[in-house]
Amino acid sequence: MSLLRKIFGDSPPPPAPEAPPMPEPVPAARSGPAPGTQIHYHPALVHQLTDEHLVLLQAFGAIQSAAAQGNLAEAASLLEKFRVRLQGHLLTENVRLYIYLEHQLAGDPSSFALIHEFRQEMDGIGKALAAFLRKYQNLAAEPGLAPAFVDELAGVGKVLVERIQREEATLYPLYTA
């Protein structure tokens, strides 16, 4: 103790430097594929999907803006780009998230039921969006579709925002837990 006083005086010694944070261990269940599949856990998946949500919402906003300005050619072009992004996102979500979670949490009936419900709902939303996108793919060549397009677009936007919020608040935490 006297050696410490000689070095530091009567003041307490400085705190020890903090050790760098240890990486969180991957749970044993995540070290291999989900049971019955070859689908592995991807630590960056939720970040990727939430980033894609932002891109989809921005693209959707651009479509709404072009339609509101009466620029149907731009709206149709943006709608096609949105379709491609959405299909990629839904495919990733279906395979890497839903199938993984359904198999990983098959032993937890309530979580499994929730995931299955989300997946079925998303299938329905995906089909409805595909029909909407097909209906308006020739929007620029058929200006008479513009009033119905603007109305339906608002409804699609509402469903899209609500679904994204529910996925990020309820479903994605099940993946990262």
Q: Do residues 37 and 104 make contact, with C-beta atoms less than 8 angstroms apart?
A: no
For residue 70, pLDDT over 70 is answered with: yes
130, part of any domain: yes
- What is the mean pLDDT of the segment spanning 81-100? 94
In this structure, the number of other CB atoms found within 10 A of the CB of residue 148 comes to 11
- Tally the domains of the chain: 1
Read off the pTM.
0.78
Question: Does the structure show a pLDDT above 50 at 8?
Answer: no
Q: Which domain holds residue 95?
A: 42-176
| 123 is a domain residue | yes
SS3 percent helix, strand, coil of the chain, rounded to 5, is 75, 0, 25
* pLDDT value of residue 12: 41
Q: Tell me whether residue 21 is in a domain.
A: no
Name the token pair of 126: 């995906």
Q: How far apart, in whole angstroms, are the C-alpha atoms of residue 116 and residue 158?
A: 22
32 vs 11: CA distance, rounded Å = 52
- CATH number at 129 reads 1.20.120
pLDDT bucket at 148, cuts 50 / 70 / 90: very high
- In terms of pLDDT, which residue wins out, 47 or 19? 47
- Domain contains 128: yes
| pLDDT for the residue numbered 34 | 82
Q: What is the pLDDT of residues 106-126, one digit of tens each?
A: 999 999 999 999 999 999 998
Q: Determine, yes or no, domain membership for 48.
A: yes
| Structural domain contains residue 148 | yes
Region of poorest pLDDT, from 11-20, 47-56, 67-76, 135-144: 11-20
Q: Is residue 31 part of a domain?
A: no
DSSP state for residue 37 in the 8-state scheme: S
Work out the mean pLDDT of the chain and round it to a whole number. 84
Asked if the structure places residue 20 within a domain, the reply is: no
